Amino acid sequence: FLSYKFDIEINEKNYNSIFINMSNNIFHKKMNEIYKGISFSYLPFSLKFVEDWASQILGKDLKLFYINEPSLLLRIVRPFSIDFNPPHRDIYINRLRNAVNCFLPILGVNKNSSLPILPQSHFWPESTTVRTHLNPIVDGIRFSVPSILYKSDLSPLVLKRPEVKYGQAMLFSPYCIHGGGKNISSDTRISFELRFKIK
């Protein structure tokens, strides 16, 4: 899928050097297309398999959330780049308010590159944080979600990177503060992003 989208042979051995050496303009232009998701026609498993898997874990009858066609979102975050969203809650986008998030590692996911979250922040009232308006520009990049800057008592946000090993998944509430995950490792992080809603 990535080889097709970037028009260059990409595999497990060369992906890191390809993405590290790619210009920001080319990378972000291509990623705008890729953010629409990977169709299940590219994947070795079905929509039903994914929905049954999530339903069994959470004990609810769930469906995968998608906009146009059933697909999985792919995230690629290069080392020491600005390829990531700032800290935010997904509830700021109405269509994501009731969707459970799932982070699924593919390549380059480790203790220095995994998705950061702020434990217990899904219990915090909105009044405890200070955030920007919708679609802020951070480091020259426009984002679709407001960025949470700090706590209202002026103390900093302290996000943690849970260790998510290959074959594992991290599921969390859309009210939980997450993001701001600068990749401080030497490997490009590739992961799936899924969201589920009750059928």
- Tens digit of each residue's pLDDT (9 = 90 or more) over 50-93: 999 999 999 999 999 998 889 999 999 999 998 888 899 998 88
Q: Return the pLDDT at 51.
A: 97
- Stated as kind and residue range, the H or E segment containing 31 is helix 24-34
Q: Sorting pLDDT into bands at 50, 70 and 90, what band is 189? A: very high
d(CA 84, CA 75): 9
Distance of CA 74 to the CA centre of its chain: 8
Partners of residue 38 on adjacent β-strands: 72
Is the full-model pTM beyond 0.75? yes
Q: Sorting pLDDT into bands at 50, 70 and 90, what band is 138? A: low
